[in-house]
Structure 1
Amino acid sequence: MSDRSKKQVMLERMNEKKKEVKTVRRIVLIVFLAALLLMLIGGAILYSYVTGGLKPVDPDAEDTITVEIPIGSNLDTIAMKLEEAGVIKDDRIFKYYAKFNNESDFQAGTYEMSQAMTPDELLESLKTGKVYREPVFQYTIPEGLNLAQISEVIEKNTEFTADEFMELVTDEAYINELISKFPNLLTEEILNEQIKFPLEGYLFPATYPVFEEHPTLETLVEQMIGATDENITPYRDAIAEEERTIHQVLTMASLVEKEARTPEDRKSIASVFENRLAEGMPLQTDPTVAYAHGKHLERTMYSDLEIDDAYNTYQNQGLPPGPISNAGSSSIDAALNPSETDYLYFLADPSGINHFAKTYEEHLQNRDKYLKSGE
């Protein structure tokens, strides 16, 4: 082949490669533009969906819709309630909008809302707790009360007697009915024959508005159980991951509630209990002895510790059969998120300040320092 022919072949091949490169570039460009177009279209659709979800459902709506926000409701529950009532378009958009704006501390109550309200108006209403429907009366269950003490609160604030309350909350048929109503909260664990009162620990301490002139006793009881169900909901995944039961968590929380003097102490006390359980040591917490005796003990004596009862944590290892009080949210949180410490002992001095120790020798030193002088 002549030199001229070789050059011609090379030129033809180079031209072909240039054409191929141009073709590849065109294809890449087309794919890029198509992907960009799809992204722009998708973004526009998403933007339209989100902005539409943040507009009032019906700007011209004049009628109001009653929305009940239960005590202890979190943002997920509130958003779901609002969508179910038809005052927002999408609970997820409302929830993310509230989180993006750092909105929290919503108030429970019965609200008269409108489909013409914007998300900002709804959030402001929920934050200020502007309740359009005034309760007929309300009653408060303080943290740390047991069922017998709650019965006295009910007697003082309603037309029911303490005996009627105790009769209802210990009625076997009614308890089984409640297990069916609250299957995610109440389980067969509360039917353990060693448990004194199956519903102990399941009546959430809070202030309860009542909107009926003559509510049934069942309504009051289920209002308190429903609040516990709402408050335990954020912890369900954590409880399952730790392979614990709600009953165990509420039992631990009740011990923390009775021992803690200040909010700061709760997690440290919970850590003491967890450390003792891990070491196979009895919990030895005085409130369980008082509960075993069924009365308040001004001071726990050595003779009190001799009572043969499943709740006596001086004689029995592990948690008692069930809660000994009705714990608030901070004690429930402490039971699930105790401080990381090496403490195995604690005691409260006469002023109510708790002192923690890692060893029994340190505990004895605390006793001599903080208690002996008061004996």
Structure 2
Amino acid sequence: MLFVFAAVVFGYIGTNPLLPARSGFVHIRSAMSATDTADALYQQGYISSTLWFRLAATASGKAGQLKEGEYLISTSMSTRDILDKLASGKSEAARLVIPEGYTVWQIAKAVAQLGTIPEEEFLTAARSDAHLYPYMKGNRAVTFPTEGFLFPDTYFVAADATADDIVQMMLKNFDDHVTADMRSQIAARNLSIYQFVTLASLVEKEAKYEQDRPLIASVFLNRLQQHMKLQSDASISYAMGSHKAAYSIAETQYDSPYNTYMYEGLPPGAIGNPGMECMNAVLEAPETSYLYFVADGDGHNYFAVTYEDHMKNVEEHMP
């Protein structure tokens, strides 16, 4: 009996030596119960038993006291330490939400809203290639070498995090998401990962609806194969730093290597940071003969094989 009591006490105030060393932020939402919290901690590898955590939370009276926030948790913490921290309500990180398709400029504004890192400081970090993985490096001059590889996601940013820390965290997240299977599929399309991400960023900006993404990717792949200019309005938008539903003939002649009306092939780099859906759309692009597409006022796209049919779609659907 004494042994069992000692084991219970140690399980509460001691650490689990069988868990591999790791630390990270855990997000506790207001609607989460002690059971939900135990599940989250277990799934992220910070505890070895959800049952023990629930029993400890109930026995200590902390089960109903866990508060919403972002908490830095590690496997070196005891169950008591974890419960005390989650009940304290002292959130240790800011939540940074980066939507799919955000450019570096937009990410910098989102980071600046956290109140600790000025916009220009983040832009400086994004202009550096210091943290890029080798496959992320292109051979053409770009606005931001990190553009395309700052993975859209929800991040927990520590109060003392630097701009370089955030850039590095986002690049690692991208690397974690691009699996070995994806890399094989990318190679099978005769694309480098850099080219693949650049293409996915065009799809991200051109497609409003999920069902259009693979077909838009198909159009771009067909045009690349036939050495046709991609003529993506989204590339003009990035080049000019503007956003319009349509561009004039004069604007399509805006001289920038990013302007795919002016220059054949992919732009020098990505025009935003694509999400998994658009990256998968490139990999899942069907074999079609489509060379043109146009969007209606609601963003639905219509596809055509010939220029004549494309012009009919323009007249019928374009606002």
Q: Give TM-score scaled by structure 2 length.
A: 0.73
1:22-33 matched pairs, under 5 angstroms: none
Deviations 1:145-195 (A, max 9, x none): 111111111111241111111122214xxx2x313xx33x423x1x522x2
Is 1:273 aligned to 2:220, yes or no?
Answer: yes
Query: For residues 255 and 109 of structure 1, do their structure 2 counterparts lie closer, same or farther at Cα, with a shift above 3 Å needed?
Result: farther
Query: For residues 107 and 290 of structure 1, do their structure 2 counterparts lie closer, same or farther at Cα, with a shift above 3 Å needed?
Result: farther
Query: For residues 61 and 321 of structure 1, do their structure 2 counterparts lie closer, same or farther at Cα, with a shift above 3 Å needed?
Result: farther
Query: For residues 299 and 364 of structure 1, do their structure 2 counterparts lie closer, same or farther at Cα, with a shift above 3 Å needed?
Result: closer
- Which structure is larger by alpha-carbon Rg, 1 or 2? 1
Match of residue 140, structure 2, among 186, 192, 199: 192
Provide the C-alpha distance between the structure 2 equivalents of 1:306 and 1:255, rounded to a whole number of angstroms: 19
Query: For residues 241 and 345 of structure 1, do their structure 2 counterparts lie closer, same or farther at Cα, with a shift above 3 Å needed?
Result: closer
Provide the C-alpha distance between the structure 2 equivalents of 1:107 and 1:340, rounded to a whole number of angstroms: 42
Provide the C-alpha distance between the structure 2 equivalents of 1:324 and 1:237, rounded to a whole number of angstroms: 24
What is the DSSP-based 3-state SS (H/G/I as helix, E as strand, rest coil) of the residue aligned with 1:113?
Answer: coil
2:178 aligned partner, one-letter code: I
Query: For residues 276 and 226 of structure 1, do their structure 2 counterparts lie closer, same or farther at Cα, with a shift above 3 Å needed?
Result: same
The residue aligned with 1:15 is none
Query: For residues 317 and 264 of structure 1, do their structure 2 counterparts lie closer, same or farther at Cα, with a shift above 3 Å needed?
Result: same
What is the DSSP-based 3-state SS (H/G/I as helix, E as strand, rest coil) of the residue aligned with 2:146?
Answer: coil
1:44-123 matched pairs, under 5 angstroms: 62=11, 63-64=15-16, 65=19, 67=22, 111=44, 113-115=46-48
Deviations 1:280-333 (A, max 9, x none): 211111011111213333531111111121111112111111100100001111
The residue aligned with 2:252 is 305
2:184 aligned partner, one-letter code: D
The residue aligned with 1:240 is 187
The residue aligned with 1:55 is none
Is 1:215 aligned to 2:161, yes or no?
Answer: yes
Gaps of 5+ in 2: 1-8, 27-38, 52-69, 73-90
Is 1:231 aligned to 2:164, yes or no?
Answer: no
Match of residue 178, structure 1, among 105, 119, 131: 131
* Deviation, structure 1 residue 257: 0.1
Provide the C-alpha distance between the structure 2 equivalents of 1:307 and 1:354, rounded to a whole number of angstroms: 25
Aligned pairs, number: 260
Provide the C-alpha distance between the structure 2 equivalents of 1:336 and 1:304, rounded to a whole number of angstroms: 31
The residue aligned with 1:79 is none
The residue aligned with 2:276 is 329
2:179 aligned partner, one-letter code: T
* Deviation, structure 1 residue 242: 3.4
Query: Where is the helix percentage greater, Structure 1 or Structure 2?
Result: 1
Q: Give TM-score scaled by structure 1 length.
A: 0.62
The residue aligned with 1:151 is 108
Deviations 1:350-369 (A, max 9, x none): 11111111211111111111
Provide the C-alpha distance between the structure 1 equivalents of 2:40 and 2:213, rounded to a whole number of angstroms: 25
Provide the C-alpha distance between the structure 2 equivalents of 1:344 and 1:108, rounded to a whole number of angstroms: 49
The residue aligned with 2:125 is 168
* Deviation, structure 1 residue 217: 1.5
